Amino acid sequence: MIVAGLMLLAVGAADLARTVFTRSASSVRFSALGGVGLAALVIGVLVGAPLAGLAAVVVAALWLWLMPDRGRSPASIWPAAGLGALSALALVLVPADHGTGAFGLVEIDSPLGALTLPGVLLMIGALAYLLESANVVVRATLERENIAPDPAPGETETVMGPDGLAVMPKLGPGQVMRGGRLIGPLERAIVFGLTLAAAYPLLAAFIAAKGIVRFPEISRDGDGGDRAEYFLVGSMVSWVQALSAAFLVWWGLRS
């Protein structure tokens, strides 16, 4: 669990750092990313798994290279699949009790049962990934599939806003509403939590509620169906990542 948790934590923290400092000077961004790498190494040493910390730094560096926050991703969404496969492989090959370090076998009571330190790090790492890295994957998917065509100059569209219908400039493939960067992580956190809690009726109701809220907007979609496809593809990729993260955590805790 410790290897998978540190890899997910390093990737998620690196994406959060470059997003927070996206408008800062290059030196500031590199310093923030270097701090993330150093923190991963320190955590690895403290828990008695320095190689896990080193692996996390290498994986995070590869992730930042293959999944840029600007422009198209050269590898599309395959780095996300590779990260998931590496995490699953780490759960299989590395003993579950590896990584207690100087803290010994510490157990924390939780609704999911007694959590060891590696289990806690795995949960934190999964949540860190879902906060921002999953947004990068969703964007890369939509850009690869070219869901939203480039709008004509001055082209507008009618959308459902909090105060009713509103006319807004049409968004292109490289543009997203700012609210999506907040709604996506919240949505994934809810799906992640409900899945781990085995609250499947609530999970189904939550997914259905999102479809109901979006239905008026989708029903007004044009002949191209761009907005409906944008919603379906983006939502499915987001949910798959949240469910996969929940499965990894469940698997790790049960091991």
Determine the length of the chain: 255
126 and 186 inside one domain: no
113 and 161 inside one domain: no
Which of 133, 166, 185 is the last residue before a domain boundary?
133
Domain count, the chain: 2
157 and 102 inside one domain: no
In a domain, 49, yes or no: yes
39 and 109 inside one domain: yes
In a domain, 91, yes or no: yes
In a domain, 41, yes or no: yes
122 and 152 inside one domain: no
| pLDDT of the residue at 163 | 38
The per-residue pLDDT string of the chain (255 residues; one tens digit each, 9 = 90 and over) reads: 889 999 999 999 999 998 888 777 888 888 999 999 999 999 998 888 889 999 999 999 999 998 887 667 777 788 999 999 999 999 999 887 776 665 556 666 666 667 778 888 899 999 999 998 998 898 888 877 665 444 445 544 444 443 333 444 444 444 444 555 678 889 999 999 999 988 989 999 988 888 787 766 666 655 555 667 777 888 889 999 999 999 999 998 887
| pLDDT of the residue at 42 | 92
**Rg of the chain's alpha carbons, rounded to an integer?**
20
100 and 20 inside one domain: yes
Rounded to whole angstroms, how far apart are CA atoms 63 and 69?
11
Rounded to whole angstroms, how far apart are CA atoms 17 and 27?
13
125 and 9 inside one domain: yes
φ/ψ bin of 27: left (φ > 0), alpha (ψ from -120 to 50), beta (otherwise):
alpha
154 and 127 inside one domain: no
| pLDDT of the residue at 149 | 45
28 and 110 inside one domain: yes
Residue 244: Cβ within 10 Å count: 22
12 and 121 inside one domain: yes
Which DSSP symbol is given to 75?
A: T
| pTM, rounded to two decimals | 0.81
* Tens-digit pLDDT profile for residues 113-125: 677 788 888 999 9
Structural domain range at position 46: 2-133
